[in-house]
Amino acid sequence: MHKLILPYFLFFSAVLSLAACSKGSTPDPIPPPPPPPTSFTAKSTTVDGKTNTTALYNAKTLPEIKFSFSAPIDHSTVSAGISFKTKAGTAVTYNVSYENNDSIVIIKPAAALNYINAYTVNVATSLKSQSGGHLKTAVAANFITQIDSSDKFPIISDSALLDLVQQQTFKYFWEFGHPISGMARERNSSGDVVTTGGTGFGIMSMIVAVNRNFISRTDAVTRIQKIVSFLKNNCTTYHGAFAHWINGSTGATIPFSANDNGGDLVETSYLMQGLLCARQYFSDATTNETTLRNDINTLWNAVEWNWYRQGDQNVLYWHWSADKGWAMNVQIKGWNEALVTYALAASSNNYSVPKIVYDGGWAGNGNMKNGTTYYGITLPLGPAFGGPLFFAQYSFLGINPHDLTDAYSNYYTQDTAHARINYLYCISNPKNFNGYSNLCWGLTASDDDTKGYDAHSPTNDDGIISPTAAIASLPYTPTESMNALKFFYYKLGDKLWGQYGFKDAFNLTNIWFADSYLAIDQGPEIVMIENYRSGLLWNLFMSCPEVKTGMKALGFQSPNL
């Protein structure tokens, strides 16, 4: 072939070849990408077989936490996808096992957890199925471990336990009393701030201490005389009434709030309740006891109860100060903790108030009546469910409610109904707080882990149990209160029992135990235990001739008047 023709021949052959290849055929299609792995979901979560919602209580210290998923789980993603931590964020080492073809993951702590502690097991969306899919929505198991049921102290008789609680709690007023004034500090962190009402409770506790041989009669007279002399010689009074807070070193008024910088008639009534009991108890003809009685009478007779009617109104007012006047403008109206204020106001030798002030002010001409039934118990007086339990305690440290009646109520029926409703509410536990039971109950004013201080009750319940509430209800609910006292001491004593008896409050839902002691909570424990045991303070207060006359004038009837 001619050398010029050869290239054309080769090119033409190639074209024919290509045409032959393409004619009647198509190239292979590009395969589509594989579908992404399907995400999966959590079907259920249980702790010790109980379904998890917001939180679970009473978990074992070696709990079994199960997560059930809609797909088998990739084991290699579990350690990174599941975390086990304490409430404080400390990691907990755990072991893993599987069930149901790996669609159930079982988490167990490698070692026993602490009692009464909160834990969280979190499952993140980084957890994968065996097909490579991610968990669609993160899940968590939140739980609180059970209370250690072992006894924290040796078992002793109930009588010995009551002795112990009274004696240990008394130390708050005796050992921690202000060194200069002798008065009760507001709380264990108050420094120079002493409290008028709490001092009245403390004086009553000193009487108990003498009667129980915790201290000598002579030492008690010396301490109470120290208090009385300080009140008489160092403190400002406001028409005879004392301020709520006082500087225990100087006697100067410490404002309770911006406008509350003067006389507090309710606090003063708690002080006088205690002083009158001391006057009746220390009745010997010795010089020291005679001086004490005379000085108590000076303070008692100086209180101008009728001044606090604010211009002869038929009601008493809580506060008055020299520069703020009646700015607080709080009427003392029932039903609350202040019945003793009206009883003493009617009993005054120099400044008494008439029955119309009691009926129209305190009782509201019957408006303080309730009559509703709660948990099968009819409540004669007061707010729904009774309010905080100190309503049934502060005034009745001295006033004996047994067989005490007037136009409005039988007061033992009232106080017992109040205490039992509080008890039954805690058993019912409508808000599902941790720990509430027939052994762990009692809602009253006390410290609070979120609010600082609050008046807890069935209508203001945030999980706070205050030992004083159940313990100071012993005269009304002896079995229920004694069971609670023993639970607080034997089962929670490692967290609740301290230098001055039971600490102020605790919250088993938030895992919080107060480190505080308050005079107005410690005092009722000692006094009401004693009233339950012997009626000592009831007998003393009701033996006052003025109290007999005053309460009868208000329409009260009782074998003790």
Structural domains for the chain: 42-145 (2.60.40.1220), 158-553 (1.50.10.140)
Residue 270: both structure tokens together: 């708690």
Contact call for residues 477 and 418 (beta carbons, < 8 A): no
pLDDT at 6 exceeding the cut of 90: no
Q: What angle do CA 544, 546, 552 make, to 5 degrees?
A: 105
**What pLDDT, on the 0 to 100 scale, is given for residue 25?**
57
CA 463/CA 8 separation, integer angstroms? 100
List the single range of 14-18, 42-46, 55-59, 468-472 with lowest mean pLDDT: 14-18
**What pLDDT, on the 0 to 100 scale, is given for residue 17?**
43
pLDDT at 398 exceeding the cut of 60: yes
CA 64/CA 62 separation, integer angstroms? 7
What count of other Cβ atoms lies within 10 Å of the Cβ of residue 532?
A: 18
pLDDT at 14 exceeding the cut of 70: no
Residue pLDDT, tens place only, 255-266: 999 999 999 999
Q: Which of 317, 227, 313, 312 shows the shortest CA–CA distance to 269?
A: 317
**What pLDDT, on the 0 to 100 scale, is given for residue 26?**
62
Residue 377: both structure tokens together: 């118990």
Percent helix, percent strand, percent coil in the chain, to nearest 5: 40, 20, 45
End-to-end Cα distance, the chain: 149
The average pLDDT across 263-287 equals 98
Residue 127: both structure tokens together: 């957890």
Q: What are phi and psi of 405, to 5 degrees?
A: -135, 160
- Identify the burial level of 410 via C-beta atoms within 10 angstroms of its C-beta, where 0-12 means exposed, 13-18 middle and 19 or more buried: middle
pLDDT at 532 exceeding the cut of 90: yes
**What pLDDT, on the 0 to 100 scale, is given for residue 21?**
42
**What pLDDT, on the 0 to 100 scale, is given for residue 2?**
43
What average pLDDT is seen over the chain? 94
**What pLDDT, on the 0 to 100 scale, is given for residue 417?**
98
**What pLDDT, on the 0 to 100 scale, is given for residue 10?**
38
Residue 489: both structure tokens together: 């001491």
What count of other Cβ atoms lies within 10 Å of the Cβ of residue 208?
A: 27
**What pLDDT, on the 0 to 100 scale, is given for residue 32?**
76
Q: How confident is the model at residue 53 (pLDDT cuts 50, 70, 90)?
A: low
**Helix boundaries (H) for 457-513:** 467-471, 478-486, 493-496
**What pLDDT, on the 0 to 100 scale, is given for residue 4?**
42
The average pLDDT across 152-181 equals 98
pLDDT at 20 exceeding the cut of 50: no
Residue 434: both structure tokens together: 């941790």
Cβ-Cβ contacts under 8 Å for 231 (sequence gap 6 or more):
183, 242, 271, 299
Q: What are phi and psi of 78, to 5 degrees?
A: -70, -45
**What pLDDT, on the 0 to 100 scale, is given for residue 30?**
80
What count of other Cβ atoms lies within 10 Å of the Cβ of residue 345?
A: 28
Residue pLDDT, tens place only, 436-480: 999 999 999 999 999 999 999 999 999 999 999 999 999 999 999
Q: How confident is the model at residue 55 (pLDDT cuts 50, 70, 90)?
A: confident
